Structure 1
Amino acid sequence: MRYYPIFVNLKNKDCLVVGAGEVGKRKSQSLLEAGAKSVLILDTSAAVSGLKSILDMGNVQFESREFKESDLDGKFLVMACTSNQQVNGWISQLCEDREILCNIADQPEKSSFIVPATFKRGDLTMAMSTAGKSPAMARRIRRELQEKFGDEYAQMLTLMGRIRPLLLELGMDTQDNTTVFRELVNSNLLQALGKHDLDAAREILEESLPQSLYVNIPELLDGLI
């Protein structure tokens, strides 16, 4: 099966996680970290270890009971992580009927989407998927990418995020802005950040930025090196 890669905005979205085992807890935490408006966690066990840290994140509610169809009301996204395949299949069918995004743990064929292996460096997020064929391979690729992409990539994105509004405020032509951005990302600025070389980073910025932004360079590099 082929999938369309996408990043989903969960702001103002209510989500449901059925099953609070290790997989369910991990998925609940990731939904909260992604900014979900609320997460309802259901599990038939009254005592679930390791759940307190997730509940402390806020915007999350745990209920010790079985899933019922009305739990889907108003939900944007559902994760079914129970050990009962019949329950998981039932949830999958209900979500399909209601056109609700649904992921069934370890059953991509019953899911409307799959969750890729991911890792982050600041605002940089990379996602790896093997279309459900080998999660272990996806994790290996993730480890290899983690070794290649260090913290300097997060610093570079922070810097570019600071530069962008200042450059756009100058009212230059779009092509001129594009030229500046491309010069920066194709320069040795990334390496300078990785080596914590303030002088080199400052010199590269002076070579690429309009002269009117030179005064902003100390602020642009503040806290990055």
Structure 2
Amino acid sequence: MDRLWRLPVPALRPRRAGPHERSRGDRRARVRGGSVDHRADPAARLPRLRRRRHVSAPVRHYPVFVDLAGRLAVVVGGGDEAERRARSLVKHGADVAVIAAEPTQGLIEMEAAGELTIERRGYVAGDLKGAFVVVCASGSEEIDTAASREAEAGGSLVAVPGLPALSNFTSPSVMRRGALQIAVSTGGTAPGLAKRIRAQIADEFGPEWGEYLELLGIVRAIVLDRVPESERRTRMLDALSADDSLREALAAGEHVDPEDVFKRLVMEQHD
């Protein structure tokens, strides 16, 4: 029995840390060695988070309406798609510059009318400096990729039609009725579907909605000017928005006087 206790015990090899344990230890060592602690400095994680975004879940775009009035918008390309985008940008008040060796006749006519400017040449690096928004529609993936990279590096909003992976925003399909705008987006996945949904919405919101919204704006201004009590103003404006009879009257071709609407709201609040 004594001999059994004297048998040599095999040396145990130290347990190797698993990959997750090693990475945690490495991170702790780097933090102790003076590297940035990502937990203390969230901004240091941004490049890693951006890389993760491109390889994991699809991007969910943040819906927002942007005021382009007086802002520089550069369109790279001079074909039909470039013309369509340029027209939309001009319509929304942007200061539009087109870079195209061979612009369409429509773009040339817009330039003659003073609506935009055209640089009759190809895109070169540095063309996008100072641009608030950039549309890359040259028809060349190589050129559009280069322009997209420059635009994003410069902090511009950039869209590349047909290549959502190179874009940091997409233009939705929009239904307009005066001040009312309803935007439909598929994130660039299926633009045709967005147009079909927009058409269905347009059938539901008739042309009277533009006049209806204008009427609500006038009555709202009257309420804000003549009703000093905050709670009463809120009740009156809530009642105004909930009253669909006004829109129905406008749809039937009737004239609606904003003063009459205000007087009715006042009477309803006294009841």
Q: TM-score, normalised by structure 2?
A: 0.71
Q: Where does structure 1 lack aligned partners over 5 or more consecutive residues?
A: 212-225
Q: Distance in 1 between matches of 2:220 and 2:259?
A: 17
Q: Residue type matched to 1:19 in 2? A: G
Specify the alignment match of 1:184 in structure 2. 240
CA RMSD of aligned residues (A): 2.2
Deviation, structure 1 residue 67: 0.8
Note if contact 2:137-2:160 (Cα within 8 Å) is conserved in structure 1: yes
**Matched-pair contact (CA < 8 Å) for 1:123–1:157:** yes
Residue 21 (structure 1) aligns with: 79
The amino acid that maps onto 1:111 is: S
Structure 2 residue 38 is the aligned partner of structure 1 residue 8: no
- Rounded to whole Å, the distance in 2 between the matches of 1:49 and 1:70 is 26
- Deviation readout 1:73-126 (Å, 9 max, x if unpaired): 221110001110000010111112111110011111110101111121111111
Q: Shift of the alpha carbon at 1:12? A: 2.6
Alignment-derived partner of residue 110 in structure 2: 54
**Which residues of 2 match residues 1-225 of structure 1 at below 5 A?**
1-36=59-94, 38-45=95-102, 48-55=104-111, 58-187=114-243, 188-198=245-255, 205-209=262-266
What 5-or-longer segments of structure 2 have no aligned partner? 1-58
Deviation of 1:173 after TM superposition, in Å, equals 2.0
CA separation in 1, counterparts of 2:69 and 2:173?
A: 21
- Percent identical pairs in the alignment equals 28
Residue type at the aligned position of 2:251: G
8 Å Cα contact 1:25/1:54 also seen in 2: no
**Hey, what does 1:214 align to over in structure 2?**
none
Letter of the aligned partner of 2:188 in structure 1? G
Larger RCO (CA under 8 A, 6+ residues apart)? 1
Q: Work out the number of aligned pairs and report it.
A: 209
Name which of structure 1's ranges 157-166 and 121-130 shifts more when overlaid on structure 2: 157-166
Q: For the pair shown, which has the larger CA radius of gyration, 1 or 2?
A: 2
TM-score, length of structure 1 as denominator length = 0.85
